[in-house]
Structure 1
Amino acid sequence: MTSTAPDEDVKDDIKEKISCKLVSEIIRERIESAGARFHANDNISNYILPGELKTLEKEVSTRVRDLLKTLLIDVDNDHNTQETAERVSRMYINEVFKGRFYEQPKVTSFPNDKNLDEIYTVGPITVRSACSHHLVPILGDCWIGIKPGEKVIGLSKFARVADWVFSRPHIQEEAVMILADEIERLCEPKGLGIIVKAQHYCMKWRGVKEPDTSMINSVVRGDFRHDSSLKQEFFELVRQQSNANKNY
């Protein structure tokens, strides 16, 4: 009987081809095979295996070093930029874009045993992101309003989830929608409202260079969307929190 198993030479050839691939190519193929999306503001942690982020860090640092060289920066002799590529790589993967590469922080929900049905707001929560068009900072404040359903989560978890969602390249309009989706999934509130006010350095630092311009947008869902009085109460509570914060 003839064996259909590949001989050792074929196995070695397969291993060599795999070893020659960049880790970004391996992860990308994994995502594409699953039919998943990997836009700038998508979380792709499900497709990254243990140990691959460290390898990806090295690959990104190589590309950043090439970028600096293309910008005619002498990274070999300029003591200020000799380790810039490595710093930038670590910053992108582990800090400013960590919401793409790491799983959502653990959030435990609890039953709403007291049947709480009054709305409450949390904020201002500082949010930090990057404009997906220019990769420059978006910095601002976020307020979250909840009318509880059958589950509740701790107040600090709203800040952790907001940080995780915003730590990706974004446009602000989409970031708020993604955050709303995550909060709805976690605690299934009867009503949800989110307001974000942020400054965009793509307008502040470059382009039109307007230093004081900010963007405000909101999303309301559930009872907040269908009951105008609840919606107004949410906006009023946020206004009070915003004004109180100025007095500290």
Structure 2
Amino acid sequence: MSFTQTKSEAPGTGFLMSSTQAIRERLRDAGASFAANANIAEYLLPGDIEVIQAEVERHVQGVLEALVIDTSRDHNTKATAKRIARMYVREVFAGRFEPAPEVTDFPNASGLNELYTLGPIAVRSTCSHHLVPMTGRMWVGVVPGEKVIGISKFARLANWIMSRPHIQEEAAVMLADELERRILPKGLAVIVRMQHQCMIWRGVREDDTIMITSIMRGAFRDDRTLRSEFMTLVKDQP
């Protein structure tokens, strides 16, 4: 897929420059979603990440000024806008802007059809309502089909999916969809347990509240014994 780079004139300079508005227009023209938990890597051109990061920095600086924070004389906040912009674009929201990690699959040559589980895998994301962290762990259960992947790839795919603003329920479904698409399992189970800072850092401040999301597909949905075995294995893990 190829795109024509849209440029606009930088005010007062006479020079053409890219802007996030141009990127949004490109996404709209392609009929692509740029919802908070979408991945837009396919539609980005060279230099777009730098454009996004620079614009985020400008707007964060505006937020700091609106909060009446003196960033010119306070040594603690002089570079805060730059740090936040880099953090959002290159780290905590990187799953929006980076392509999926390379995951090589292998044929299930031995015909394995027994349950295997992975976890706990540390996961972290961001609540799309308040842009504050959600952190926790996840477990995956698989009854293999025709394909298998290395166990480290589960964590890489989870990090790619979770590094976007989410609500937990949608994040778990997106992860299950991605795993199912790649390994075509006979059964797939995903359990995500997360603590939400929007419940701790603000609001009602329920410190020990945990949200659990459970997805059962294929053999796990249809076979109560298999589902029970997986749940017991997860329960017995620290």
TM-score, length-scaled by structure 1: 0.89
Q: Kindly indicate whether the alpha-carbon contact (under 8 Å) linking 1:142 and 1:194 is maintained by their aligned counterparts in 2.
A: yes
Identity %: 55
Deviant stretches of 4+, over 3 Å = 14-22
Q: Kindly indicate whether the alpha-carbon contact (under 8 Å) linking 2:7 and 2:19 is maintained by their aligned counterparts in 1.
A: no
Structure 2: 5+ residue stretches without partners: 1-5
Secondary structure, counterpart of 1:142 in structure 2: strand
Query: What count of residue pairs does the alignment treat as equivalent?
Result: 229
Structure 2 residue 169 is matched with structure 1 residue 173: yes
How far apart, in 2, do the equivalents of 1:30 and 1:236 lie? 48
Identify the residue that residue 208 of structure 2 maps to in structure 1.
212
How far apart, in 1, do the equivalents of 2:7 and 2:189 lie? 52
Identify the residue that residue 39 of structure 1 maps to in structure 2.
35
| Amino acid in structure 1 at the alignment position of 2:141 | G
Q: Which has the higher helix share?
A: 1
| Amino acid in structure 1 at the alignment position of 2:120 | P
Structure 1 residue 21, shift from structure 2 partner: 5.9
Structure 2 residue 235 is matched with structure 1 residue 239: yes
| 1:44-63 mapped onto 2 (5 Å cutoff) | 44-63=40-59
How far apart, in 2, do the equivalents of 1:216 and 1:75 lie? 40
Structure 1 residue 16, shift from structure 2 partner: 5.8
TM-score, length-scaled by structure 2: 0.93
Secondary structure, counterpart of 1:127 in structure 2: strand
Q: Kindly indicate whether the alpha-carbon contact (under 8 Å) linking 2:7 and 2:18 is maintained by their aligned counterparts in 1.
A: no
Secondary structure, counterpart of 1:235 in structure 2: helix
| Amino acid in structure 2 at the alignment position of 1:106 | E
| Amino acid in structure 2 at the alignment position of 1:116 | L
Structure 2 residue 115 is matched with structure 1 residue 119: yes
Identify the residue that residue 3 of structure 2 maps to in structure 1.
none
Q: Kindly indicate whether the alpha-carbon contact (under 8 Å) linking 1:22 and 1:59 is maintained by their aligned counterparts in 2.
A: no
One of 64, 73, 83 as aligned partner of 2:69: 73
Identify the residue that residue 105 of structure 1 maps to in structure 2.
101
Structure 1: 5+ residue stretches without partners: 1-13
How far apart, in 1, do the equivalents of 2:187 and 2:143 lie? 5
How far apart, in 1, do the equivalents of 2:70 and 2:121 lie? 40
Q: Computing the radius of gyration over CA atoms, which structure comes out larger, 1 or 2?
A: 1
Secondary structure, counterpart of 1:90 in structure 2: helix
The range that moved more, 137-146 or 48-57, is 48-57
